[in-house]
Amino acid sequence: MSEAVTGSTARDKTTYRGQAARPLRVCHLFSSQEVGGLEKHVREQCIWQRHNTGAEVYVIAHPRYRDMFPEGIHFLGVDTDRSRRNPLLSLQLLRLMRRYQFDLIHAHAGKPTHLMRWLQRWIHSQVIITRHNIPHPRDSLAKHFSYRIAVSHRAVSDSALEWRVIPNGTTLPEPGQSYREHLDTGRAAVITVARLVPAKGLDILLRAWAKAEVGDAVLYLLGDGPLRAELQQLADKLDLGDRVRFTGYQPQVADWYTAADLMVIASRYEGGPYTVAEALLAGCPVVSTNVGYVAENIPAQYLTEVEDEQGLAVLLTAAVGDREALRDSYSPYFARARARLTLDAMASETWQVYLAALQREPDINAGG
């Protein structure tokens, strides 16, 4: 294990007795089965670490995620779809961890944390875990790790353990005008960015939109998924007509944030979500259900409870009806996002936790 680690963003080295220094080896482990906020989180952390620390950055995940990671990130494909109790999965992970001698392993969410609970006794790596949503990994599992990160206070509100809360941050590309073929200029534009799946609460959103008094404003659903046909049928049943548009998947979502008057989140549950950080960094106000870290980052008057169709309709009416007041309310939240919800802020703070773990120092900011 490392004896000396220097510098938070310098070319960090690990020194072994009798051996020349080599770059730190950091490995991220995740076991997802789809693409969403957690996968974006890991990808952006890896890229930042590769470019800002000099560490050798590895990822262990299912082979389907290989193309997500650019050149310079070492991807090790493992069939993580197997049960967490599958001995062959644990054996394969152990062999990789011993072969590459990682200095630090970052386990993301419940299943990787469960796997590392038993593997950590057979390796010399420091292990950090992250709770991306409620409630995994549970306290009964997380208590076996000294360095714990959570993406929101809400994610650990029921925990008796100390966690370092580091909100999801991101970076936005320069905006373009990919929305032009879809956007109805001259009408207020409200967007929602989500896969069309039950967790996103888009059925609730459509019903709320039908009740909201928003004039000729248009709701744009940016995303695709298995519920598209069902949601389109619901929109027809609600007689929404051209007040709602299904745009399908939009690869340049950042373009839309700059064009929209408002973004709405109707999710039933979330970890982050990243769309909050993206919208705020682009200066786009948000109306949302109380999920993830949303309540920590937007004005309380634009927050409603999950599945509160009527409450969401009232918020949409107020937000669209007085957009000047909406933007005035959001001014300090935009400023806070620029300071706190950037990729650099998130990744730099995460790296400080890494350094504390490598030096075996207590995380003095845990619990805050």
pLDDT tens-digit series, residues 272-303: 789 999 999 999 999 999 998 999 999 999 99
In the predicted model, what is the mean pLDDT of the chain?
A: 91
Strands 164-165 and 147-150: parallel
Q: For each of the domains in the chain, give its residue range(s) and CATH number, in order of start.
A: 13-170+342-358 (3.40.50.2000), 178-340 (3.40.50.2000)
Confidence of residue 8 (pLDDT cuts 50, 70, 90): very low
Strands 13-14 and 22-23: antiparallel
User: 75 and 44 in contact (C-beta within 8 Å)?
Assistant: no
CA 56 to CA 11: how far, in whole Å? Answer: 10
> What pLDDT score does 368 carry?
59
pLDDT (mean) for 342-346: 97
pLDDT (mean) for 189-212: 97
Closest CA relative to residue 285, chosen from 266, 304, 254, 257? 257
What is the DSSP annotation of 244-258? EEEEE--S-HHHHHH
> What pLDDT score does 304 carry?
97
User: 244 and 232 in contact (C-beta within 8 Å)?
Assistant: no
Confidence of residue 185 (pLDDT cuts 50, 70, 90): confident
pLDDT (mean) for 122-148: 93
Which residues on adjacent β-strands are paired with residue 61? 77
pLDDT tens-digit series, residues 322-338: 999 999 999 999 999 99
pLDDT for residue 15 is more than 90: no
Closest CA relative to residue 140, chosen from 159, 119, 115? 159
> What pLDDT score does 9 carry?
42
Closest CA relative to residue 134, chosen from 293, 320, 278, 7? 293
For residue 59, give the 3-state DSSP assignment: strand
pLDDT (mean) for 91-97: 98
pLDDT (mean) for 195-222: 97
